[in-house]
Chain A
Amino acid sequence: MAPYLQAQGLEVSFGGLRALQDCSFTIDKGRITCLVGPNGAGKTTIFNAITGFLTPNAGHVAFRGDSLDGLTPQQIVAKGIARTFQNLRLFVDLTALDNVLIGLPAQTGEEPLAAIFRPFHVAAAQRRRRQEAMATLEHVGLADRAHEFVRNLSYGEQKLLTVARVLATGAELILLDEPASGLSAGALDAIMALLRRLQAEGKTLLVVEHNTRVVQKIADDVLFLHQGHLMATGTPEAIISDPALAEIYFGGTI
């Protein structure tokens, strides 16, 4: 059987900088895989390559045996893979609820003709969509903030909202770019509990994370990236206790 997500020989260069070199790995269904490594290791580049935001110079990505090569971000979301961004990229002039509604798959009334000629049909469909979006907000604990403009939400709430927006797409493989960075202790616990809950519901998560404590708590598997190379894969214990990797991670000179 084909691996759940398989990346083979990914190469990405930006001008002279080789951001990824011969990266191959697989991700198993239903697990939380953490992608770790120092700044500039290529973690976000891997996200961009998987989700169609950049085309690798070489290599392939396949999801459940289907090739993702050459697909647009939109087509990849339709296949069931969605991602968040390190800098959130929320729609700050929209409400929390509207941000989640944007994530919900194709809706009637997204075309002007339907909006003009079938207004009642569109309104009825929107009421159902709103309920779905509310349920998603409830799921991440933001139901009481639904009608607040995003710019008025705290940073922790905004991070939860990015998760709500990817959940709304219905994706089963979710890529989270530093969901825990910059959070207070309370918000950190909330997001870790949320990730565990998503896993229990059958989602598969690939998470970029810097905080080793968080990695130890949530990761089933760890991919260790350094200067575009995949240096090691294994359990969090094995990776964290490896002195060579710790040396790289905490200010090594390799």
Chain B
Amino acid sequence: MDFLLSYLALAEIYVLLGLSTNLLVGIAGIFSVSQAAVFGVGAYIVAQSLMHGVMGFVPAVLVAAVACIVLNILVTLPSLRVSGDYFVVTSFGIQLLATAVFINWTEGTGGANGLPGIPPPDIFGYALETNEQLLMLTTAAVVLGCLVFWLTMHAPFGRLLRAIREDELAVAAAGKGVLRAKVSAAALAGAFAGSAGGLYATFLSFIDPVSFDLDASILLLTMVVVGGARTLPGSILGPFLLLALPQLLTFIDIPTTIAASARQFIYGVLLIAFMLFRPQGIVGEKL
């Protein structure tokens, strides 16, 4: 039972990350491969705030969200100057840089050993310790996240981002500000990733750089591709399916030493298979 509850809570946290990635990559066409880095910054900020008793969970998540808004705008800024393929390379560099900082800045992040003993989240002083309570928190967060995603993507803002993905020049010719819309998209995606980071750190009570490395960024992209780009159901389905995979692997009798690489292998196969045979994902559009 606990097993199921923790799977659901973790999947919901990844739904927030799926929304973040889908917004930026799927809808706005800003092909970022560094969303896990932003996620990590949110996680470390909340973890450190709670471990040092600087503030409660809710204000810490707000601080993390604001920090990740700023950070995501900064890391997305190159996409305003370099387009398409070139931005992927830039974004790749940002991800590697972030991982280097996570591993080496021992005082801030605990280095490769990570940060153990992160206190559970609290809602204005009331600590949420059982899996049921944590699941309620992540469910509330994911409902809020989906609502925000739906409202913004069904508003003129969503249409503007879709148009920008197709043809920035034509958007400028129609009298619309491309820069402003891209910055807004980066901010919104940053807020999602930062909040997800806070939930993740407190839910697992332990974080280390492996959760926020390039593999993690690629996992987020795989979730969007498999679930389906540019749709809300796609952003929800992808994380639930891909996170079920490691759970299913535990039922198969394989040595734990190769479980992790088996998982990576399957993620890779899925990514290739979907791109080749079903680029629109299960319930989405072509990336």
Contact = CB atoms under 8 A, between A and B. Distances in A.
Interface string A106-123: 011111101110010010
B175 A110 contact: no
Given A73-B172, A89-B169, A109-B157, A116 B162 contact: no
A116 B174 contact: no
A114 B155 contact: yes
Interface string B155-190: 111111011001101111111110001001101100
A244 interface: no
Contact of A53 (B169, B176, B187): B169
A78 B177 CA distance: 11
A109 B157 CA distance: 6
Contact of A107 (B154, B156, B158, B169): B156
Contacts of B285: 93
Contacts of B211: none
B148 interface: yes
Given A53-B169, A94-B162, A111 B184 contact: yes
Given A93-B166, A112-B187, A115-B151, A98 B159 contact: yes
A51 B162 contact: no
A51 B187 CA distance: 30
A102 B163 contact: yes
A169 interface: yes
B interface, how many residues as a size bin?
Answer: 20 to 34
A90 B170 contact: yes
A105 interface: yes
Nearest to A89: B170
Contacts of B184: 111-112
Contacts of B151: 115-116, 119
Given A91-B167, A109-B157, A74 B177 contact: yes
Interface in B260-287: 285
Contacts of B155: 109-110, 112, 114-115, 119, 122, 126
A74 B159 CA distance: 17
Interface string A70-98: 00111001100011010001111110001
Nearest to A73: B172
A89 B170 CA distance: 6
B174 A102 contact: yes
Given A77-B173, A89-B167, A89-B173, A110 B157 contact: yes
B152 interface: yes
B175 A169 contact: yes
Contacts of B160: 102, 110
A30 interface: no
Contact of B172 (A74, A101, A105): A74
Given A51-B173, A110-B181, A93 B162 contact: yes
A94 B172 contact: no
A156 interface: no
Contacts of B148: 116
Interface in B17-52: none
Contacts of A59: none
Contact of B156 (A74, A94, A126, A169): A126
A89 B156 CA distance: 20
B126 to A, nearest CB: 27
A111 B72 CA distance: 17
A43 interface: no
B152 A116 contact: yes
A220 to B, nearest CB: 25
A169 B174 contact: yes
Contacts of A115: 151-152, 154-158
Interface string B181-220: 1001101100000000000000000000000000000000
A77 B171 CA distance: 11
B163 A111 contact: no
Given A85-B173, A89-B173, A92-B166, 11 more contacts: A73-B172, A74-B172, A83-B173, A89-B167, A101-B156, A107-B156, A109-B155, A109-B156, A110-B176, A116-B152, A169-B174
Interface of B: 148, 151-152, 154-160, 162-163, 166-167, 169-177, 181, 184-185, 187-188, 285
19 contacts: A53-B169, A53-B173, A74-B172, A74-B175, A74-B176, A77-B174, A77-B175, A78-B175, A91-B170, A98-B159, A102-B160, A103-B175, A108-B156, A109-B156, A110-B181, A112-B184, A116-B148, A116-B151, A129-B156
